[in-house]
Amino acid sequence: MSDSRPLNIVQILAAPYPTRQGSQVYVQGMCRALAQQGHNVTLVCYGHGDAQEDEGYRIVRTPQPKRYQNRRAGPDAWKPVLDVALAALVTREAKDADVLHAHNYEAPIAAYMARAATKTPVVYNAHNTMGEELHRYFSGTRTRRIAKRVGEILDQAVPHRADAAVGISQAGVEQLRQLGCDPVFLAPPGVALDELQPADAEAARTLYDLQERPWVVYAGNPDTYQDLEVWIQAMAQLPEVGLLMLSASSLTQWEEMADELGINQERRRFIQTDSWPDVRNAIAAADLAALPRAVCSGFPIKLLNNLGLGTPTVVAEGSTQPIAGVIPFKNQDPEAMVNAISSSLSDADALRDLGHAAARDVEARWSWRARVKDIESVYHSLIP
């Protein structure tokens, strides 16, 4: 540990935990890394999630409504009830805390309420902005317009009240500064290297019958802000290439789109699974991964997983990060994505070398072991 004493850190996440979604994976890696550094870490979160092994930190959960198991991001009728319970727990836990570290939007509101009672400093961790994301959960032009405006109001109201703000990408840092946050720190995420191994690509090829053609994989949540229609439209123009999509959520919407675009059953696999080993094996088995999200002020955790497993990734410019193995293409442009995929697949040896370079870069610069120091620096800037 870099400083003289362990800190008492309360992490706050208004979401189910743990799950294999980006924010949850990010928070899990951070909590685990801070605990390994010797800090006393408590995570306050919703009451439901996957089974959780002891990883060296406490988990304090809200009461769980009977039969409520929603794991998707976005608005939900039960969330205000859960958030009130979350705020009460945070206030209780804040009494002995050195710092409150709040993620996304409901969590910092709970943290500010606790700060009023305990004077504990609050770190706000931006994963996105509401202006870029909230309206994507709704349909209808008028409803979306209203939701976008509400999101922009939240952006102006919530982040700047923290004692320090953390952006997980350079774009996120710039947005936080524009929203009036000061000070702002850049603290990109890491990946837990032990979770990437052992990957068994051959097992996935057998399980999902990935033979005789190259495959492009997307593994992650299928929400509309991921711009997956761009990828599926591109894949419809690549009849010799297979489409492989895995998520813990339903993929019916995207399977229907594949039908409409004429992507036949032989060259597509839509797999609903919450098994990380199965997902990990599938990513390792694919020739390329896809990340078509055009607007991302955060940092796509799935990108680190793809590259850490040695799978080069075709990435929309709005989501690119400075890591070996990223193959950029123009935002919202299926034709540009087609060109990026086809040119990458045209040289198998170069693609294999790029995958090896990606895995080496992630291991050297993007593990939580390397990245946790950034988070510690934020805390020590606030604590005398």
DSSP 191: B
User: Which one-letter amino acid corresponds to residue 155?
Assistant: D
Instruction: Say if 125 falls within a structural domain.
Output: yes
Q: What is the pTM of this model?
A: 0.78
pLDDT value of residue 304? 94
Instruction: Say if 353 falls within a structural domain.
Output: yes
Q: Looking at residue 217, which CATH number applies to its domain?
A: 3.40.50.2000
Same domain, 348 and 374: no
Same domain, 181 and 304: no
Same domain, 131 and 224: no
User: Which one-letter amino acid corresponds to residue 249?
Assistant: S
User: How does strand 40-45 pair with strand 58-61?
Assistant: parallel
Question: Whose CA is closest to 31, among 15, 17, 42, 45?
Answer: 42
Q: What does 124-145 look like in DSSP terms, one character per residue?
A: EEES--HHHHGGGG--SHHHHH
The two structure tokens encoding residue 124: 């706000």
pLDDT value of residue 29? 93
Same domain, 166 and 218: no
Separation CA 248–CA 273 (nearest Å): 5
User: How does strand 313-316 pair with strand 288-291?
Assistant: parallel
The two structure tokens encoding residue 37: 């550094």
Instruction: Say if 119 falls within a structural domain.
Output: yes
Instruction: Say if 265 falls within a structural domain.
Output: yes
pLDDT value of residue 3? 52
pLDDT value of residue 68? 83
Beta strand spans in 211-355 (E):
215-219, 242-247, 268-272, 288-291, 313-316, 326-329
The two structure tokens encoding residue 92: 């209780």
Same domain, 253 and 340: yes
Same domain, 361 and 279: yes
Instruction: Say if 249 falls within a structural domain.
Output: yes
Instruction: Say if 102 falls within a structural domain.
Output: yes
How many residues does this entry show for the chain? 384
pLDDT value of residue 137? 73
In the numeric block, the tokens 């051959």 are attached to 202
Same domain, 305 and 221: yes
Same domain, 336 and 378: no
Instruction: Say if 3 falls within a structural domain.
Output: no
Instruction: Say if 1 falls within a structural domain.
Output: no
Same domain, 350 and 376: no
Whether the Cβ atoms of residue 287 and residue 358 lie closer than 8 Å to each other: no
Whether the Cβ atoms of residue 307 and residue 358 lie closer than 8 Å to each other: yes
Same domain, 163 and 267: no
Same domain, 374 and 358: no
pLDDT value of residue 71? 75
Q: What is the pLDDT along the chain (384 residues), one digit of tens a residue?
A: 445 689 999 999 999 998 888 789 899 999 999 999 999 999 999 998 887 888 899 999 999 888 887 777 777 878 889 999 999 999 999 999 999 999 988 899 999 999 999 999 999 999 887 777 777 778 888 898 998 898 889 889 899 999 999 999 888 899 999 999 999 999 999 998 988 989 999 999 999 999 889 999 999 989 888 999 999 999 999 999 999 999 988 999 999 999 999 999 999 999 999 899 999 999 999 999 999 999 887 788 899 999 999 999 999 999 999 999 999 999 999 999 999 999 999 999 999 999 999 999 999 999 999 899 999 999 999 997
Query: Domain tally for the chain?
Result: 2
Whether the Cβ atoms of residue 79 and residue 16 lie closer than 8 Å to each other: no
Question: Whose CA is closest to 57, among 74, 71, 65, 45?
Answer: 45
Same domain, 207 and 140: no
Residue 22 belongs to domain spanning: 8-190+367-382
pLDDT value of residue 266? 95
